[in-house]
Amino acid sequence: MSSYVDINSHDGKTFKAYFCEAAKKTAPGIVLIQEIFGINKAMRDLAEIWRNKGYHVIVPDLFWRQEAGLDLDPRNEQEFQRGVELMQQVDQPLAAQDLECARAWLEARFEHDRMAAMGYCFGGRMVIHVAAEARVRCAVSYYGVGLESLIPSLGDTAPALLHIAELDSYVPEDARQILLKEAERREGWKAFVYNQADHAFARPGGQHYLDHPTHEAEARSDAFIQQFTAA
């Protein structure tokens, strides 16, 4: 079952999220965090992919405080730039609170706290904010942006898995080395670099989509989440 649901925010408002329910009520949950393009087809497809792997999945609308219900196409330059503008305007600590509300909604619905968070691109950064609150069991970041300035400033966090694309211009070599060192020194963290892969290599239907690294990253993510969300 897939549908849009209403989530209550901490400040008395409501926002939409795309929700995919797994076949088993006892399944772990994933808070799936969008790229800069809203809950578009790629994010809905990813939600279905992870639901089919046996997870309850919720995809909150991170831009609802600015412009709710966006469904942007990254292949359209104007829409791409609109996504960049919205990302730059986001109050990230406030968005992290909205993500926590989505996690709490899953917990209340299924009466367990075996929850992970996973994010792509901008969501790959926001998922580390979620990990810092340690209310999820673990976090998975796909080619997160700006992590080299965020992660070193953090204290203890939930375990995190970083997927890094070798050709990602948003994560140059010096930034990549910071991420690899941070993952090595933090308990429960892992990081993998995907050779010849570019930013957004795991976006369904995307320009830089690559089948092999996508499936490799999915298998690693699945095993990582299962490790920390087992009953």
- Catalytic annotation, residues: 168, 199
- What does the alpha-carbon distance between residue 202 and residue 184 come to, in Å, rounded to a whole number? 24
- What does the alpha-carbon distance between residue 190 and residue 153 come to, in Å, rounded to a whole number? 18
Q: How far apart are the first and last CA of the chain?
A: 23
- What does the alpha-carbon distance between residue 199 and residue 209 come to, in Å, rounded to a whole number? 9
- What does the alpha-carbon distance between residue 194 and residue 220 come to, in Å, rounded to a whole number? 12
- What does the alpha-carbon distance between residue 76 and residue 94 come to, in Å, rounded to a whole number? 28
Q: Torsion angle of alpha carbons 61, 40, 120, 110, nearest 10°?
A: 50
Q: Are 97 and 10 in contact (CB under 8 A)?
A: yes
In this structure, are strands 56-60 and 115-120 parallel, antiparallel, or unpaired?
A: unpaired
